[in-house]
Structure 1
Amino acid sequence: MRADRLLQIILLLQRHPRLSARELAERLEVSTRTVMRDMEALSAAGVPVYTERGRNGGCVLLPGYRADVSGLTPREAQALFAWSGRASLSEELGLRDALQSAMGKLSSTLPLQLQGDAEALSDAIVVDRRRWFAEAEEVGALPALRKAVVTRRRVSLRYASATAGRPVRRTVDPWGLVEQAGRWYLVAAHRGVARMYRVSRIQQVDVRAESAVRPADLDLQEEWQRLRSGLERSLPAGVDVVVRVRPERAELVRRVATPMLAKGEQARDVPAPEDVWPHVALRFRVREAACGVLLGFGGDVEVLQPPDLRAELLRLATAAVEVYSRERVAVKR
């Protein structure tokens, strides 16, 4: 829509003192002729824009001018207010009050109809980022990390790694923060090597005075995907499993197993000829997770395939019986 494009031109010129018609055309994916017509339309509407000819010329917006965001469309207003409903995210970042204040200022510029529709959608949406049966993570270090990322300051961490025997100290260059399925991660460089740090494992964070080293061409999304892919490749091999499940426990088995399944996988029912117990196919991303989940259901779940996993579960169950049998005898004495 042309109204959207005109607003984009104003916003671009607010951020850049001067842009050529070609640069604007490339950013807006239109022709330079269209950009010049839009500049004329803005000027005729009273927006203080003008063009300068010559080698260093371009499209210019009079300094100090600010656009009225009441030009938002109904869908745009609803999208903003729906996102603001993620109160837990802004609270973890230490920005809940700032977000509420900003949305209040924004809503005061909207027509009453847009404001009513946007707030109705916000009130009708709840975002729960926690996994099923999972406790909320402690992310008290997050506000300090946000400050360090924004101001590009180096930080010292006391970090309880999942593999180290005790917490370690690291001085890192913070690049960004990633929220993934309810868990926060810090992407940072330690001695020039990019790593991810789970925020819930950061016991202490001190923002230092020196500037962080950050690549000029850093793409945080691309870096996160690279780190995530590396972690997924390093995990133990997964396993495809077929189980038979006591009918009244089948739905619970599906719910409990789902967070442990490989990316994009779901529990699938498979044919179970002449068996009153349903057969369910599960693709676990980690073999150890399959053992833990399936053993937890005791005799309500029986592994049919693969044979080696069935044998492993028998070995683990036998060892557990021996341990608890000894404990029971000791208690009697």
Structure 2
Amino acid sequence: MRADRLVSLVLLLRQRGRLPASVLARELEVSTRTVLRDVEALSAAGVPVYAVRGRGGGFALLPGFRTELTGLVHDEALALLVAGRRRGAQAFGLGPALASAVLKVADALPEEHRDAAAGAAERLLVEPEADLLARREPQEELPGPVVAEVRRAVLSGHRLRLRYAPPGRAPSWRTVDPVGLVSARGQGYLLATREGADRTYRLSRVLAAEVLPEPAERPDRVDLERAWQERSARFRAGGDQVVALVRVDPARRDDLVGTALAVLSEGPDPGGGLRLEVAFQDGRHAEWALWQLGPGAEALAPAGLRTALGERAAALAARYAAPPP
């Protein structure tokens, strides 16, 4: 176990540069004292790791240091093969690249491990397309060139000009500073800032994208997990946003999810079908989205949304009840 941890420590320093002991401890899931002992062991073994004192200090490897770290064990190979089946990469347009990488990893395994790892991976399934109630996760259609351009802006640190289609509104162009990409429930999102304010864009609604030559205004490092949690919290407490409780026919579930901003909860409805708590941009968006579903969905709350839909339906019924003039 300690040998594996030492290898992981070297890999972290190689890939991420100088890191404080507290970060190394969190990444390796050990105490800071254990990290210090591991650094001493690496130094004694001839690995050129050194400490930088003071604020912003930590541990680092001498520039240019390289070492051969080969020999995947069975569980490591299995983890890679299972991860290669996850659909998160699809949200970023990296599905084919991930599949190719997994094939290369499998081919590089020693023959005695290759068949065993592949066979074991077939018995582990992560995030299937449908759950036990046969509800399928929504599959977004993402134009490859557009997603590739967004991804290039995020990774190169350049500003991005994109044409975005918010739900229920006409598409428009905007220039943003990309921060990162997030996959949640099989859907891809671009986290960015626009004129200094946080913005979140759903990738499936990006119609066109262009990387600009000027660098993005963003910090050098980012904690995407924390950024996503903070934006999710602000989203739930947002001003004009409407959270609706909806009873929906399972056959129209994907249509509802496809128009909503987010699904906050989901489960079976006592009266049959599904009951979802979904968020919309505002009351106008909520009314528009549910009206498209007709009898396939029913707004249970808030009362104002239910009343608005009822009044619209009554007006339409009254119009068609009379013969045309």
Does the pair score TM above 0.5?
A: yes
Q: Which residue in 1 is equivalent to 2:42?
A: 39
Q: Give deviations 1:279-308, integer Å, cap 9, x for gaps.
A: 88946446759965996159xx9x8x9998
Q: Which residue in 2 is equivalent to 1:115?
A: 114
Q: Which residue in 1 is equivalent to 2:82?
A: 82
Alignment partner of 1:152 is 2:150: no
1:154 aligned counterpart, secondary structure? strand
Give the stretch that moved more between structures: 219-228 or 123-132: 123-132
Deviation at 1:155, TM superposition (A): 1.4
Instruction: Tell me which amino acid in the other structure corresponds to 2:231.
Output: L
Aligned pair partner of 2:208 in 204, 213, 216: 204
Task: Please tell me the root mean square deviation across aligned C-alpha atoms, in Å.
Answer: 4.7
Q: Give deviations 1:249-298, integer Å, cap 9, x for gaps.
A: xxx846756966962342353xxxxxxxx588946446759965996159
Q: Which residue in 1 is equivalent to 2:282?
A: none
Q: Which residue in 2 is equivalent to 1:274?
A: none
Q: Give deviations 1:71-126, integer Å, cap 9, x for gaps.
A: 4342x32221112123x654553434533443233224434344223323544548
Alpha-carbon distance in structure 2 between the residues aligned to 1:6 and 1:161:
48
- Whether the aligned pair in 2 keeps the contact of 1:262 and 1:284 (CA below 8 Å) is yes
Give the stretch that moved more between structures: 18-27 or 133-142: 18-27
The 1:279/1:95 distance shift into structure 2, 3 A limit, reads closer
Alpha-carbon distance in structure 2 between the residues aligned to 1:129 and 1:151:
32
1:31 aligned counterpart, secondary structure? helix
- Whether the aligned pair in 1 keeps the contact of 2:21 and 2:58 (CA below 8 Å) is no
Deviation at 1:10, TM superposition (A): 3.1
1:299-314 paired onto structure 2 within 5 Å? none
- Whether the aligned pair in 1 keeps the contact of 2:140 and 2:204 (CA below 8 Å) is no
The 1:238/1:80 distance shift into structure 2, 3 A limit, reads same
Alpha-carbon distance in structure 2 between the residues aligned to 1:39 and 1:143:
40
Deviation at 1:35, TM superposition (A): 1.9
The 1:311/1:4 distance shift into structure 2, 3 A limit, reads same
Alpha-carbon distance in structure 2 between the residues aligned to 1:135 and 1:255:
15
The 1:239/1:85 distance shift into structure 2, 3 A limit, reads closer
**What are the ranges of 5 or more consecutive residues in structure 1 without an aligned counterpart?**
242-251, 270-277
Alpha-carbon distance in structure 1 between the residues aligned to 2:159 and 2:249:
46
Alpha-carbon distance in structure 1 between the residues aligned to 2:52 and 2:205:
57
* Aligned residue-pair number: 299
Deviation at 1:169, TM superposition (A): 1.9
Q: Which residue in 2 is equivalent to 1:65?
A: 67
Q: Which residue in 2 is equivalent to 1:321?
A: 317
1:266 aligned counterpart, secondary structure? strand
The 1:52/1:77 distance shift into structure 2, 3 A limit, reads closer
Instruction: Tell me which amino acid in the other structure corresponds to 1:83.
Output: A
- Whether the aligned pair in 2 keeps the contact of 1:173 and 1:213 (CA below 8 Å) is yes
Deviation at 1:12, TM superposition (A): 3.5
**What are the ranges of 5 or more consecutive residues in structure 2 without an aligned counterpart?**
280-285
Deviation at 1:128, TM superposition (A): 5.4
Instruction: Tell me which amino acid in the other structure corresponds to 1:147.
Output: R
Q: State, as a whole percentage, how many aligned pairs show the same letter.
A: 29
Alpha-carbon distance in structure 2 between the residues aligned to 1:11 and 1:106:
18
Alpha-carbon distance in structure 1 between the residues aligned to 2:172 and 2:23:
49
Instruction: Tell me which amino acid in the other structure corresponds to 2:85.
Output: G
- Whether the aligned pair in 1 keeps the contact of 2:178 and 2:191 (CA below 8 Å) is yes
Instruction: Tell me which amino acid in the other structure corresponds to 1:115.
Output: R
1:126-137 paired onto structure 2 within 5 Å? 132=136, 136-137=140-141
Q: Which residue in 1 is equivalent to 2:265?
A: 264
- Whether the aligned pair in 2 keeps the contact of 1:10 and 1:67 (CA below 8 Å) is no
